Amino acid sequence: MELLSLTQFAVLHGVSKPAVTKWKKRGLIVFEGDQVNVEASNAELKKYRRDSPVNSKVNQTKQLTVRPGETAADAADRVLLASGAEMDLEEARRVKENYLALLNQLEYDQKSGLVVPVEDVARVADSKFAKARTRLLAIPAEQSPRLHRLKTVTEVQDALQEIITEALEELTQHGGR
């Protein structure tokens, strides 16, 4: 039979001590003297609480047990190592701080306009492409009479080159607005 303090039992279930105190008031915690009987308490939690950490697929009690002579930090390290997380507390803090710094930088860059949502860029690009398409598709109707009067392939090529260049310059003036 495994016995823990209320604090250790809270750590075991990944909840706060006040949460365990509420379970105690509801009669869901079984004591042996002043220690929590882990197996009996887990059975009570499982019976009466649908949202019990004992019933959760995420919190498996056997993985979170604080062993005799082990601190809560030691138990957390053991669980993290067993589940593939090989960082100590300092490394986890460093990773967290780097993440928060990058997140703050991203938020700053968004506010300053250095980074914009892809949807906004796509919307502007679609608008620009639609304008270019409309302008280029208008060329045959506008320029057919002029091209019809030309006599040689070279004259047609030169005229088309000039027409396309003008259309592209028109589209790129003042950012294509």
pLDDT tens digits along 83-133: 556 666 788 788 888 888 888 888 888 889 888 888 888 999 999 999 999
Predicted local distance difference test score (pLDDT) of residue 49: 62
**Average pLDDT for the chain:** 81
Predicted local distance difference test score (pLDDT) of residue 58: 38
Co-location of 123 and 160 in the same domain: yes
- pLDDT more than 90, % of the chain: 30
Domain boundary among 82, 99, 130: 82
Predicted local distance difference test score (pLDDT) of residue 79: 66
Pull the structure tokens for residue 60. 């498996």
Domain count, the chain: 3
Is pLDDT of 44 > 60? yes
Reference 41, options 58, 26, 57, 63; nearest CA is: 26
Co-location of 50 and 97 in the same domain: no
Range of the domain at 94: 86-115
Reference 74, options 82, 5, 2; nearest CA is: 82
Q: b/e per residue, 1-22, with b = 16+ CB within 10 A?
A: ebbbebebbbbbbeeeeeebee
Co-location of 95 and 146 in the same domain: no
